[in-house]
Amino acid sequence: MLTRHGHKLFGAVVCQVPLLDMWKYHKLLAGASWMAEYGDPDKPEEWAFIRSFSPYHRISEVCLDGQADWRCPKVLFTTSTKDDRVHPAHARKMVKRLQEEVPQHRAPQVLYWENIEGGHGGAADNSQRAYMWSLTYEFLWKAIGNTPSKL
């Protein structure tokens, strides 16, 4: 959703322990076990399809097309150094790409938090979980605004 509709649907996005680089996912941690679900990016015919939904690749190939009106909503990426399923490199690479390759007017706020403990859930204990969720809710409160909805 981040790379397909961006700001048109969302004022802010929290992207937690994300799987984003579909070209290398199967070479990192548990990724090889997901090949039956996502496909094998080493096979050109499968990569042609996988590439169409790989967020990391969509940024440079689709979202930054001069004709595209894509803009990234304000986004917070969270991950864990010790995640044994989705390697934190997915979040790290995406943040780097958004901050260094995307013009600031198209990605106005890209934030990153990595817990050095924890696992796939992003926290090792309730104290860390509370901290992670407080960061998340504070980000959303500031990004979307603190005025009541008119729904």
Tens of pLDDT along the chain (151 residues) come to 556 666 778 889 999 999 999 999 899 888 888 899 999 999 999 999 999 999 999 888 777 776 677 888 999 999 999 888 889 999 999 999 999 998 898 899 999 999 888 777 777 788 988 999 999 999 999 998 876 666 5
Q: Answer yes or no: are the C-beta atoms of 85 and 29 closer than 8 Å.
A: yes
Q: Tell me what pLDDT residue 47 has.
A: 96
Q: Tell me what pLDDT residue 4 has.
A: 67
Fill in the DSSP letter of residue 61: I
Q: Answer yes or no: are the C-beta atoms of 55 and 25 closer than 8 Å.
A: no
Nearest Cα neighbor of 15 from 103, 106, 109 is 109
pTM value? 0.86
> How many residues are given for the chain?
151
Q: Answer yes or no: are the C-beta atoms of 63 and 8 closer than 8 Å.
A: no
At position 76, the amino acid (one-letter code) is L
Q: Give the span between the Cα atoms of 17 and 38, in whole angstroms.
A: 17
Q: Answer yes or no: are the C-beta atoms of 18 and 90 closer than 8 Å.
A: yes
